[in-house]
Amino acid sequence: MAVSIRYLNSEYQIVEQFLTLQELNYQNANEYYNKLKAFLEEYDLMKKLMFISTDGAYVVSSTKNGLVGKLKSNIPYLISTKCAAHKICLGVKDLSNQFHDIKILNEQVYLLCAYFNTKKKLDLLAKNQYKLLKGDDHSILTLLQPTDVRWISYYPSVVRIVDLLFPVLDTLNEIMTENQSFTLQNLINHFQQLENIILIAMYGDLLSPIYKLTKQIQKQDVTLMELQEDFQQCKLCLLDLKEKEGPLMRTLIQRIGQFDNEHQIIYFDNKQHYLKSSYNYGHYFFKNKNKQQQMIDFLIITLNERFDYFTEIKDFQAFNITQIIKLKPSEIESYGTTELKNTLSFYKQNQQSDFCQKEEVLMEQYQLSKRRIQSCPSNMAISDILKLISQSIFLKDISIFYQLFQLIPISSVECERIFSHVTNILSKKRNQLDTQTINDLLFISRNGPEIENIQKFDINKAIEYWKNDKLRRFV
C-alpha cells in the first residue's frame, strides 16, 4: 500500500510527496485500515486528515465496508474522492465493452504492437521507413505497446500506427513471404483493409481529448476547478468531432493520398490492387461516421456519470479563487454564500466544530475575502493570492477554507508513480531488499533534493543527524 500526502508549503504552493510504502499481510479493509492508522498516529497525522483519494477498488473506496468507511467512522468529517485518472480509464473500458468493433480493434492494436516487439522486426520497420522518407530529416519511430491496465494508453499506440501505416504494411508483407503463421495472416487481413484503418484513425481521434485530460490530471498541483474546466473542454472537443474530421483522420487522408500518388497500389494477400482512395475513403468514412457519433454520445454520458462528485465537494466552489476573480461587481455579494452555509453545516454535522464556531464572523470574513481577491492583479499567481489571504489577521478563519479547496485531491496518481518507481529499485539484481529498505530508498528518491539543487544540500547536517540517530560504531 502506497501513501502520499498533499499539502501547502510555506509559499502556499501545492506539494504532493511520498510518505510510506506499507506491506500488507492480507488484502482486506481491516488490514488497510490498521496499517494506515498506525502510521498516521505515529506521526500525529490522523486528526489532521481532511481528504482522501483512492482508486476504484472496493476494498479501499467503499464508504461502508472499505478503508474509507472505516476512516470515516473515526474521522466523520473526512471527505473522500475517487481517482479521476482511474475514472477516465474505466470510461474508455466501458466504451470498449459497449462497442464490439472497438474491442476487436483494441485486441488487434495490442497484437500488432506486440508482434513488432523484437529487434529483427523493428530493424525491418526502420528500413521501410528509410525508403519512404527518401532522405528527409525525420526520426525513425517504433510502435508503442498499450496496456489493458491503463486503457488510455491505446491512444499513443494508435497515433504511431497511423504515422507508420505504410511502413508497417510493407514490413508485414515482407515478413509474410517468409512466414505464413495464423497470427500474421490475421494482422495482415485486418490492417490492409481500408475500413479498419479508418476505424483506427477515428478511434484515435476519439481518445485524443481524453488522453490530454488524463495528462492534465497527472500534474501534481492540479485543483478541482482546473479538472472541471479541462473536463468541459474535453467534452467540447468530443462534440466537435461529431461535425468534422479529427487530426488523425486528416493525417490518414494525407498518408493515403501520398501512397496513392507515389505507388498506385496497396498490397493485399501478396497481390497488387488499386487503392482507389478517393472512392473507397469516402464510402468507408461515411459508413463509420454514424458509429463514431454513437461512441462519442456514449462516452460523454459515461464520463458524466463517473464525474458526478459529492455535494460537499461541489460546495467548496465557494472558495475557488480563479472564479471569484472573474466575478462582476454585482455578483460578488451573493456568490458562494449558499455553498459556504452548506459547507459549515456539513462540518457541524460531522463533529468538526473548530471550523464553525463563529458562523457570522466567517460570513463577514468571506464577503471581505472576495473583495480582497477582486482587488488583486489579474496576473497574480493563485499561491500569492492565497498567501495574502492567509496572512491577513482579518481573514484568518475563512482562509482555512480557501486552503482546503486547493488541497482537494482529484487523483491518486502520485501513489501510482510510487509503484512504477518500485520496479526501478527492486530489480532482478536487487531482489532481496526488505520492505523497510525499499521504503527508505523510495523516500530518498522521491523526496530528496533535486539534482539541480544538490549543491545547496547540507551534507554535514545529514551526517550529524545520522550519527546521532542511534549509537553507532566508527572505525
Joined together, the cell numbers standing for residue 353 give 466544530
Q: Per residue in 280-339, pLDDT tens?
A: 555 556 667 788 888 899 999 988 888 776 666 888 889 999 889 988 888 999 999 999
d(CA 75, CA 59): 18
Pick the residue with more confidence: 31 or 279? 31
Instruction: Give the domain extent around 394.
Output: 311-409
Number of domains into which the chain is organized: 3
What pLDDT is stored for residue 267 in this prediction?
41
What pLDDT is stored for residue 266 in this prediction?
45
What pLDDT is stored for residue 260 in this prediction?
55
Last residue of a domain, one of 306, 325, 358: 306
Residues 58 and 186 in one domain: no
Residues 18 and 93 in one domain: no
What pLDDT is stored for residue 457 in this prediction?
74
What pLDDT is stored for residue 268 in this prediction?
42
pTM over 0.85: no
Joined together, the cell numbers standing for residue 363 give 460570513
Residues 277 and 190 in one domain: yes
Q: Above 50 in pLDDT, residue 279?
A: no
Which range has the worst mean pLDDT, 116-125, 163-172, 183-192, 445-454? 183-192
Q: What is the dihedral of CA 309, 230, 201, 116, to 10 degrees?
A: -80
Residues 195 and 100 in one domain: yes
What pLDDT is stored for residue 36 in this prediction?
93
Last residue of a domain, one of 409, 424, 447: 409
CA distance to 190, 195, 282, per residue, from 200 (Å)? 11, 9, 15
> What percent of the chain is predicted at pLDDT more than 90?
24
Coil, helix or strand at residue 273: strand
Mean pLDDT rounded to a whole number for the chain = 82
What pLDDT is stored for residue 52 in this prediction?
92
Residues 186 and 256 in one domain: yes
Residues 13 and 69 in one domain: yes
Residues 195 and 116 in one domain: yes
What pLDDT is stored for residue 96 in this prediction?
86
Q: Per residue in 452-472, pLDDT tens?
A: 666 777 788 888 888 888 777
Cβ neighbors of 96 (< 8 A, separation 6 or more) are: 102, 103, 106, 151
Residues 118 and 194 in one domain: yes
Residues 11 and 157 in one domain: no
Joined together, the cell numbers standing for residue 253 give 487522408
d(CA 224, CA 410): 6
Last residue of a domain, one of 306, 325, 355: 306
What pLDDT is stored for residue 379 in this prediction?
87
Residues 154 and 261 in one domain: yes
Residues 142 and 245 in one domain: yes
Residues 98 and 237 in one domain: yes
